[in-house]
Amino acid sequence: MNPVLRNILAVIAGAVVGSIVNGGLISLGHQVIALPEGADVSNYEALKASMSSFGAEQFIFPFLAHALGTLVGAYIAAKIAVGNKLRAALIVGVLFLIGGISNCFMLPAPVWFMTVDVLLAYIPMAYIGWKLADRK
């Protein structure tokens, strides 16, 4: 297979698998850590309205979802890619970072969460995903 095509497919596969992991962990989080009384996360507008009642514990699984989704996605991309595997992993990390930054503008999350999320959940996890994939 053409290396350029393989690398493009590696990034796409990493982004898709990472997104599935992210979504799965978000869903699991609602089952593991109860939402505050009256909170509704059934749609985006209801989530925005409910976030003001969230405590720190309600942000654990979103952070884990963002971090582990990026980690797994970057790992998959680096495993599939040929040549510069770090580039593939970091592209996945940047794609997830763009999504994370977008959420900072769309959802009223606390500043501490947005800061921790943007600084730790994306590029560092993409790098770790690459390191794990590149082990001999």
Dist. CA 12–CA 86, nearest whole Å? 15
pLDDT of 99 above 70: yes
Dist. CA 13–CA 58, nearest whole Å? 29
pLDDT of 48 above 80: yes
Please return the burial class of 71, using the count of CB atoms within 10 Å of its CB with bins 0-12, 13-18 and 19+.
Answer: buried
Q: Which residues contact 131 (CB under 8 A, 6 or more apart)?
A: none
Average pLDDT over residues 38-64: 89
Confidence category of residue 50, pLDDT binned at 50, 70, 90: confident
Dist. CA 43–CA 64, nearest whole Å? 21
Position 31 scores a pLDDT of 87
Position 94 scores a pLDDT of 98
The answer to whether 41 and 35 are in contact (CB under 8 A) is: yes
